[in-house]
């Protein structure tokens, strides 16, 4: 078993390697003068079970190309099995046609990864479950919910909790977290989205008065939806609002927006490498998912059950 990493999230790859007590494979992933990606593996990987840890976050296209070229380099070096470990799967939000003459980019990216030579994929909290079906190779979708639930119990276990979904589409995710929190009650924020990146909160479905509300979602990008939802919950009498989001994309002015919001704190995972602004924001805290990913990789290598991680 060998672990390789691109430049997408090197600290996470190192943390995963440390959990598994293995060194990262010696490799050079660099750029030519014209920004073309060049990969050179400095170890023998013939017949090895190789895992490539690479988030396809910003700069998405560069990190995606690194992943594809790493896969191709390993395939040509006769690796026995190549697993693409993608903590954050870019283009996942384009998983269907919202209108005429639009692409399904998530399917295109799945095709690229498969054609490059990956034998299986390991991802964390895919934006939509059907993306697993876009791949013609085995795909494991890990959930950050157990890690989040443990943190919530530690910090807010003594308070009356209410798990809140920021939209109707996230109810299944919210219900799964609520079940882990001793069947905490569930509320839903009903909102109207006029155009991508902007939303208007309409009303709260559920009684949140005097409760500590836990907003749960998979991605925070501009932060508008989340901040509006937090304000609506406070207006409805919530005791406080904390948000637990798997992937902290946090583009544009999102960090400043969170800092000035009604949120008590925003908790994200390290599936995406946090920016300096994110690390410096006092209201944003980062949970590591390295043990989760590392344990899943160990089980894949041992041919044992991955789904039992979430029982």
The answer to whether 295 is annotated as binding is no
pTM here is: 0.93
126 and 39 share one domain:
yes
Domain count, the chain: 2
Pairwise CA distance, residues 23 & 89, whole Å:
24
- What integer pLDDT is reported at residue 167 of this predicted model? 87
Total number of residues shown for the chain? 311
In whole angstroms, give the CA distance from residue 84 to residue 4. Answer: 10
Which ranges of the chain does DSSP label H, i.e. alpha helix?
A: 10-19, 60-76, 105-116, 145-156, 171-180, 224-235, 254-259, 276-280, 290-302
Least confident of 117-121, 142-146, 188-192, 272-276: 188-192
Q: Are residues 41 and 85 in the same domain?
A: yes
What is the domain extent for residue 78?
A: 2-142+291-310
Based on the fold, state whether residues 154 and 281 are members of the same structural domain.
yes
* Whether residues 228 and 107 fall in one domain: no
What is the DSSP annotation of 196-247? TTEEEEEEEES--TT-EEEEEEEEESS-HHHHHHHHHHHHTT-SEEEEEEEE
Confidence of residue 168 (pLDDT cuts 50, 70, 90): confident
* Residue 171 · residue 186 · CB < 8 Å: yes
- Mark whether 183 and 137 lie in a shared domain: no
Shared domain for 96 and 160, answered yes or no, is no
Overall average pLDDT of the 173-192 stretch: 92
User: What's the first-to-final CA gap in the chain, in angstroms?
Assistant: 26
**Do 162 and 277 belong together in one domain?**
yes
Q: Is 193 annotated as a binding residue?
A: yes
Q: Are residues 162 and 96 in the same domain?
A: no
Q: Are residues 272 and 164 in the same domain?
A: yes
The per-residue pLDDT for range 4-33, each reduced to its tens digit, is 999 999 999 999 999 999 999 999 999 999
Average pLDDT, the chain: 94
Clarify whether residues 187 and 251 are in a common domain: yes
Residue pair 50/74 in contact by the 8 Å Cβ criterion: yes
Is 76 one of the annotated binding-site residues?
Answer: no
Q: Is 199 annotated as a binding residue?
A: no
HSE-CB of 144 using CA atoms within 13 angstroms: 29
Is 251 annotated to bind a ligand? Reply is no
Active-site residue, 97 included = no
Share of the chain above pLDDT 90, in %: 91
Same domain, 136 and 221: no
Residue 231 annotated in ligand binding: no
Residue 195 sits in the same domain as residue 264: yes
pLDDT score recorded for residue 169: 85
Residue 303 has pLDDT above 70, yes or no: yes
Closest CA to 241 of 213, 277, 261, 217: 213
Q: Which of 191, 209, 239, 264 is catalytic?
A: 191
Q: How confident is the model at residue 194 (pLDDT cuts 50, 70, 90)?
A: low
Is 167 assigned a ligand-binding role in the annotation? yes
CATH code where residue 89 lies: 3.40.50.2020
Whole-number pLDDT of residue 193: 60
């Amino acid at each position: 078993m060998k672990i390789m990493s691109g430049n997408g999230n090197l600290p996470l790859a190192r943390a995963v390697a440390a959990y598994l007590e293995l060194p990262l494979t010696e490799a050079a992933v660099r750029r030519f003068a014209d920004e073309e990606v060049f990969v050179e593996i400095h170890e023998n990987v013939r017949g090895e079970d190789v895992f490539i840890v690479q988030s396809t976050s910003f700069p998405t296209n560069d990190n995606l190309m690194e992943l594809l070229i790493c896969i191709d380099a390993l395939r040509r070096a006769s690796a026995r099995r190549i697993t693409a470990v993608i903590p954050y799967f870019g283009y996942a939000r384009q998983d269907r046609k919202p209108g005429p003459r639009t692409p399904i980019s998530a399917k295109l990216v799945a095709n690229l990864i498969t054609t490059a030579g990956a034998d299986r994929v390991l991802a964390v909290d895919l934006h939509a479950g059907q993306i697993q079906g876009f791949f013609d190779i085995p795909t494991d979708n890990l959930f950050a919910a157990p890690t989040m639930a443990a943190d919530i119990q530690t910090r807010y276990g003594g308070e009356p909790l209410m798990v809140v979904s920021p939209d109707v589409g996230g109810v299944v995710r919210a219900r799964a977290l609520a079940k882990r929190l001793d069947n905490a009650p569930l509320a839903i924020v009903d909102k109207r989205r006029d155009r991508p990146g902007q939303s208007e909160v309409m009303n709260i479905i559920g009684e949140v008065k005097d409760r500590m509300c836990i907003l749960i979602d998979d991605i925070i990008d501009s932060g508008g939806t989340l901040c509006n939802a937090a304000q609506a919950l406070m207006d409805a009498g919530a005791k406080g609002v904390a948000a637990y989001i798997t992937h902290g994309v946090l583009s544009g002015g999102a960090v400043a927006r969170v800092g000035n919001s009604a949120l008590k704190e925003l908790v994200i995972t390290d599936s995406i490498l946090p920016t300096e602004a994110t690390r410096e924001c006092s209201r944003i805290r980062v949970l590591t998912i390295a043990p989760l990913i590392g344990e899943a990789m160990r089980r894949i290598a041992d041919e044992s059950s991955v789904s039992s991680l979430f029982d």
